[in-house]
Structure 1
Amino acid sequence: MAGGLPRIHRELVQAYRDLSVEWAAYLDMIGARDTAYKTELDALAGAGRGPGDADFDEVVTQQLDNDSLNRMLCGNLMHTTTAVEVLRNLTPVWVPQAVNDALASIEVSAGDARSLTGIGGSGLFVFSKSPIRARESLPGGATMPEVDVDGVLWWTKTLERGGASAVTADRPRRLMLAPLTRSRDLQWLRGDGWRSSTLTEVTCFDVTTVRGADVPGPLWPCVELLARIGTALQDNILHYTDGSIATLDAA
């Protein structure tokens, strides 16, 4: 896959772009449905039927469900459009298997995400050999397939109002992490945009670079892996060279 990094990069940009179009189309449908609910509620109210009436309350419930779906799709659209912009401005980094071996001896305390600052504000790692596995955590206890993590895309979010200037070297950052997999087990769940991409997004979640970060258990290995890389880069155990990460003793 090392020689295919430019292609993988292009595929990811296209996948997120296609998903943006997909979510926008769904939002148009949701908007039309919301208009229909409002019209129906106005008609019921005009007929003297309001809260407490079975038909009125049923439409209100449907409208609330529609609003919840709208918020979710808006979040999806924001995520995919941001991912496209981030990917356009970065060069993917190859992580050979030797780096996985070097990282094994680096200890990261449970919940300690401070070393994530060492990986930079944004980037894309693609691994020669998957170092970890991950599973998306869903509300209600639904179980998603556990898959190999073959790459991670990340970027910085701001912790407070004030834009990018609010993020400085001496204060915590909030990073959006998107682990990626070569597995096809998730493509049918994550959207049609992933069909033509070598890598598929496993999930996305944010983490603040503090001690005691709140991260779902199945996703902590992803944070721990990047924290190990951040520590190794800060301590000069690893370094960037020719579009990849290498140990200091590597030629």
Structure 2
Amino acid sequence: MKKNIVVESNNLTNDVKAVLKKYEYVNVIQYEFGIYKLSLNRPEAFNALNDELMFQLSEVVSLLQHNNARCLVLTGNKKAFAAGGDISEMSGKSYAQVAEEQYVTSIWSKLEQRNIPIVAAVNGLALGGGCELAMLCDIIVAGHSATFGLPEVGLGIIPGAGGTQRLIRAVGKAKAMDVILSGKTLTAIEAERSGLVSRIVEDDKAVEEALYVAHNIAKRSKPVISMAKKVVDYANESSLQNGMQYEQQNFYATFALSDQKEGMKAFLEKRQPNWQDK
């Protein structure tokens, strides 16, 4: 079956374009249907995540979200999605500094609070903070060369951007302990089999596949997608009983949407729905 082709677009206002140009570490390409591809841009450092890169990424995501973005694709380059945190930046920090400035947490929490999905397209290295950033996304599409790991203990620290919490929820305790304590890395195939990765494709197809996934998301009702994402995220943080109650509340809430009426009417009339996003 031929996949949908996502076409580049250029509908951003000049003001938004001017702001985006300021962010040297994040390149942005706009596509139709409210899809944006964000490419990390520190190739000389294998996209190591320093403070400035993460600040720029959080600002770009916030800006696009408030300019009617429907879905984002986040990627790196052929060698690395992101090889980890910037050790040269971290090495000189003291306990007092990291505690006072809420190091990592203050910036990463902005990305966690978004209401639009992000699809990660991962080639090459996704280690340490890079693996945590991929796990912060909602869906991971991996090229065959992708490698995932959390090697922080070898540096005398532990994962600090959600690695210990998200990995165990994705792959289970035994696999997470092996990765975190022994430094074991996961190939794309192992990551997919363990539940960390959604899809594996050839390396040169990872971004294309991620854009295809993003298109299938973006063509749905925006508030319904946001609600579904919120409920699935909640499942990672709650008991089954609480999760079921939360799902039920949000399921009922969809019946207050015009898009629920349109979606069901379109199904019965055997046509594509005309979403109003309300």
| Greater relative contact order (CA < 8 Å, ≥ 6 in sequence) | 1
TM-score by length of 2: 0.23
Higher-Rg member (1/2): 1
TM-score by length of 1: 0.24
